[in-house]
Amino acid sequence: MSLIHSDNLAPQPWTDVFTDDTCIDRRKCHRTVPMKVLALGVGRTGTASLRQALQRLGYVKTYHMMCASVENPPDCLMWHDALCAKYDGVGEFGRKEWDQLLGDCQAVCDWPACAFAKELIEAYPNAKVILTTREVDSWHASVMKTVFWRVSDPEHRLVSHFSWAASMYYPMLNKFFETFFRGDFPNKGKQVYLDHVEEVRSLVPPERLLEYKISDGWAPLCEFLGEEMPDTAFPRGNDMADFYNRCSTRNRRQMLNSALQAVTMGGALLATGLAATMVFKRFVR
């Protein structure tokens, strides 16, 4: 089967009441809007701000890692399948699967999408391409303190053994870092970043590519996309403090979900045991 992880999607526990996760099975979805923008810069180059900007310009929705990590966790299973197809040669992941996963999106940005620059450009040849960039040393330091911390966070790893959502997100995130960053982000991350920038440049004709820094604001983005410039400030989001707070809150809420599920299951087992004991006593008198 081409979607071995997605085919093992477990039902969402009814006890997941402390988070707002959805459980949309993308295997049942299809393309409903045209894909117009592929923002293929790696994460921590301003992709969260870019997502907000694109949505402000009407590109709804714009896919970002948070769509999988905190909005619809089953997406992680399809991303995991895509990573296995690309890097391990296990299964297939082509235009049909991209339309299932991203069918309601007019734009996509951040990771893990950046790992599939070639595949997405081939799947959507009419989409414009944005390459967000950042000074490599600053970028590497930012990732080390945020997303790489999330990958190696022991609390997150622990939660993934009990939480419905984390059990899908944590393995996919690790698979992404193991493959895209060649298994050693601290030492190889900078070179992977530089290689990725060159790869995207080589894949797209100049008229379809915007190399963009978030500090450039609205003007070059709107000119490239042919959109009117909003009269609002350019959005800023997902700084380190926001990242830490969001991840820590997410861990705690997932722990509460798991605790409620354990208590509920324990109560059900206790009630079943008491009922069985009463029936047994009744019939042995």
Q: How does pLDDT run across 45-92, given as a tens digit for each residue?
A: 999 999 999 999 999 999 999 999 999 999 999 999 999 999 999 999
Rounded Cα–Cα distance for residues 250 and 245 (Å)? 8
Strands 107-108 and 37-39: parallel
Strands 209-212 and 107-108: unpaired
> Domains of the chain: which residue ranges?
26-284
Rounded Cα–Cα distance for residues 68 and 103 (Å)? 14
Residue pair 79/244 in contact by the 8 Å Cβ criterion: no
Q: How does pLDDT run across 233-267, given as a tens digit for each residue?
A: 999 976 788 888 889 899 999 999 999 999 987 75
Instruction: Provide the CB-side half-sphere exposure for 133 (13 A, CA).
Output: 16
**What separation in angstroms does the CA of 77 have from each of 32, 84, 161, 249, 256?**
21, 11, 16, 23, 23
DSSP letters of 28-44? G----S---EEE-PPTT
User: Could you tell me the pLDDT band of residue 1, with boundaries at 50, 70 and 90?
Assistant: low
Could you confirm whether domain 26-284 is CATH 3.40.50.300? yes
Cβ count near 182 (within 10 Å) = 14
